[in-house]
Chain A
Amino acid sequence: MTDPAPASAAPPAVTFRGKKGIVLESLLLASVALFFLNFNPLGALAVGHRYSQDLVYAWFGHQGWLYPRIPSNQQRASPERPRVVVMLIDDAALALRGAHWPVSLDFHAQMLAELEVLKPRAIMLDFLLMDAASPASTCNFLSEAARLRDGGAATYVAVTRPDELDGLDAGDCRDGAGHALKVRDVLRPVSVRLQVDSTDFVNRRYPFEDRTDEQAPGTGLASAAVRMYCDAHTDPAGCSERLRRGRAAGAGFELAWSPAGDEFNQRWSQARCDAIPSPTHAIIFKKALPAETLCPPIATLFATSLLDPSEDSSLGLRNEELFDLMEGSFVFVGGNFRGAGDLMTTPLHTRLPGVYYHAVALDNLFAFDGHPKVRKEFRSLRIRYYLFDLGVLWLLAAIYLWRQNWASGGQITAPFALSASARAWIADLVGNLPTTLWVVSAAVALLCLAAFPVLQSIGVVVVVLALVGLEVRIGTQRDLADRLKSFVLYVAALVLSLAVVALAIWVGYRWLSLPPVDWVGYLSFAAVGFFVAHTAILEFARRIDAIHGAHRAPKASS
């Protein structure tokens, strides 16, 4: 990285002087930086930002500031921060009750009866009830759901359209008190549609509702997690309205994700549930994201463990750990069938059964107190958030210009630029060779570096060491002292910039609920040098300012 050449050739500026000059110049520089930060003509930049967000979650998603999860030492969840649990049904669980795929209403009814003992706060069945069932089976199912409802637990059922449950025929079904049981009274339909980022098909976003472009916001079928969260809220209607109001049809919130598995899952997982990918390891070995999620971040109970104690005798002689886990929790019942196809691609680029999509979304809503992270593009009055970006970049640009002015004012060498004596030494060395020879040699060397990535690391190390050695060998004491001053100045500016970025991230994430994709780009500006690429605009602006001054001078004199 080098600083730009001094603007000695430019005509004297008029407005771009002193403090006012720095303010205006930094504003111009920040505006250009903001433009390039969001310049996305073919979508390539967006992919990079999303992947950067995935890396943020992969490396830091276990930290409380990024994804506040229930502490592992907390046995029973509180009403304010209830636990979300996934219960997986597989072929073995079906076999324990003599059932088989597709999962019948009779089996679902049995599961509801078993879960009723555990007093969950809500149950969501991530199964489409589209297979034919007898009125008696349907009635049994509704009766169980009604018993849960009477006990204070709602039953949510996945549907693909609002009227899908109307097809359930329960005949003349009545509860124990003789009241007629109707589907709409005991089951709450919810959308289970998945959203993908179109460029890489990763399920990073969770939709607020399922609706068409023609429907007004708030009139679609609420997504499972959104409805379950708002139903548990003190003001369900207000909560639903707040989350869905003014959103575009395809709007969704970003799923914060943790690479660390839930501690409860360690009992059945062969992989460690506390394994966190290391950024250093990733940089060195190029394994940026985990290959598999063997221990999911949501507590998971296999239905076989519930139906057969010999599958899991660690839940306590009195089932105390089972009650600790499930009482007051939101239970998502999903399938874990080989080849079923109901899978999601997590932001860590691994796959999980689809039910985790909804479970993590609900956990996000609880974790962020009903204010999940929503991208700027899905916000109303989005210009506000870009203004915030501009403010942050303005500060960063001001720091950059302050450092640059200080350095050039004191005639200090740029920290990473070659000194004049070193340039002269290299020019003398290369000048002894025929021009054709050194050009061809350079081309061959660069070709090899391009073709063999391993040479790039080696080449960088060799070149840096050689240049540092050269500077130390031929530079004077004064040169080295200047270099050291410049380096200290650079580090100071970097630290200050990082502090600004940290503050911006905190405000953006905590208070503006912006996901990492909307602020991870700040980090590239913290390394001060990023602005160098755009300083040409300042030279241009200074020339215009000088011309403006020249035009104004005759008018003033006349």
Chain B
Amino acid sequence: MRALALAFAMALSFVGTVRAADPPADVCVMLNNRVLGPRTENRPLPLLKGDVEHGFTPACSVAWNALSPKNDALPVEGCFRGSLLQIPNDSACGTGTGKLWVGTRWVVTSADLAKGTERAAVCQQLETGAWAGTRAFSFECKPRARDLDTGATAPAGSQGRAADTRAVSAAAVPAPAAAPSKSDTPAAPNEPK
């Protein structure tokens, strides 16, 4: 019985290890990745300060042209789990912040453009089960078994984090993303908006 419990505990820790050791997201592995512009409907970009060891805290929000007055692309100097990008700016929010971070949700990067305009969402599920002490136990998201109105189901693992085995479902939006208009498209580096 003890051996069984030990084996179960080892299995759980293995599951947790696999999750923690997920390879970094695409945006973090791409070489020479650059921030091309904002996608905040011209609203200020929330910037964070901090580092991996000490954690992150909000620093301030600034307009894109405060980070890149000439609308140049900004080189990505650091990346955190596909969620944060470090930019070469340590003064936009005052002194002592160190180099600032911006959320990947709010900027367009060269990695995003390389991926194209695929529209997909990772399957999610609500945690409504009554579990005890099984926080690290991870269930796979089953792929959708039937087609939605809009089309086919993407195969599991075709999108999202490389080692993430959760399925990806095509978004139930009627049309693929239209090409952004010129005024909305983040301007290419060194190109006036």
Contacts and interface: CB of A to CB of B under 8 A. Distances in A.
B132 A314 contact: no
A547 B81 CA distance: 91
Given A113-B61, A117-B43, A305-B121, A96 B177 contact: no
Given A96-B82, A110-B57, 20 more contacts: A97-B83, A97-B84, A98-B56, A113-B58, A116-B46, A140-B58, A263-B172, A269-B123, A270-B141, A294-B125, A296-B126, A305-B122, A308-B104, A308-B105, A310-B26, A311-B121, A313-B121, A313-B159, A319-B41, A339-B135
A492 interface: no
Nearest to A305: B121
B134 A143 contact: no
Contact of A310 (B25, B142, B173): B25
Interface in B35-78: 39-41, 43-46, 48, 52, 55-58, 61
A318 B184 contact: yes
A343 B130 CA distance: 9
Closest 8 CB pairs of A and B: A314-B171, A266-B172, A113-B58, A268-B124, A96-B83, A267-B121, A339-B131, A314-B119
Interface stretch (A58-66, A349-357, A436-444, A451-459): A349-357
A312 B135 contact: no
Contacts of B112: 309
B134 A339 contact: yes
26 contacts: A96-B81, A97-B55, A99-B55, A101-B135, A116-B46, A116-B61, A117-B44, A147-B61, A266-B172, A270-B169, A310-B160, A313-B115, A313-B120, A318-B180, A318-B184, A319-B41, A319-B106, A338-B127, A338-B131, A338-B135, A338-B137, A339-B127, A339-B129, A339-B130, A339-B131, A352-B128
Contact of B55 (A106, A337, A353): A106
B148 interface: yes
A552 B117 CA distance: 94
Interface string B125-162: 11111111111010001111100100000000001110
Contacts of A270: 123, 125, 141-145, 167, 169
A112 B82 CA distance: 19
A116 B59 CA distance: 13
Interface residues of B, number: 66
Nearest to A346: B128
Nearest to A93: B83
B161 A106 contact: no
Interface residues of A, number: 66
B177 A317 contact: yes
A307 B83 contact: yes
Nearest to A356: B126
Contacts of B142: 270
A112 B61 CA distance: 12
A471 interface: no
Contacts of B84: 97
B92 to A, nearest CB: 14
B100 interface: no
A59 to B, nearest CB: 22
A344 B40 CA distance: 35
Contacts of B119: 313-314
Contacts of B167: 270
Contacts of B46: 113-114, 116-117
A114 B105 CA distance: 9
Contacts of B143: 270
Interface string A260-290: 0001001111100100000000000000000
Nearest to A266: B172
Interface of chain B, main secondary structure: loop
B127 A353 contact: yes
Interface string A65-94: 000000000000000000000001011000
Given A91-B135, A268-B124, A339-B131, A310 B58 contact: no
B103 A317 contact: no
Given A339-B133, A340-B127, A309 B40 contact: no
Contacts of B26: 310
Contacts of A96: 81-83
Contacts of A309: 104-105, 112
A109 B159 CA distance: 29
Contacts of A140: 57-58
A263 B174 CA distance: 12
B61 to A, nearest CB: 7
Contact of A314 (B56, B106, B121, B130): B121
Contacts of A106: 55-57
A314 B124 CA distance: 14
Interface in A358-408: none
Contacts of B61: 113, 116-117, 147
Nearest to B109: A309
A268 B123 contact: yes
A321 B125 CA distance: 21
B184 A338 contact: no
Interface string A296-324: 10000010111111111110111111110
B48 A110 contact: yes
A318 B112 CA distance: 12
Contacts of A209: none
B98 to A, nearest CB: 15
B87 interface: no
A215 to B, nearest CB: 34
A95 B81 contact: yes
Nearest to B128: A351
A306 B142 CA distance: 22
B133 to A, nearest CB: 7
A104, A309, A314, A352 — which one has the most chain B CB atoms within 10 A of its CB?
A309
A126 interface: no
A140 B84 CA distance: 19
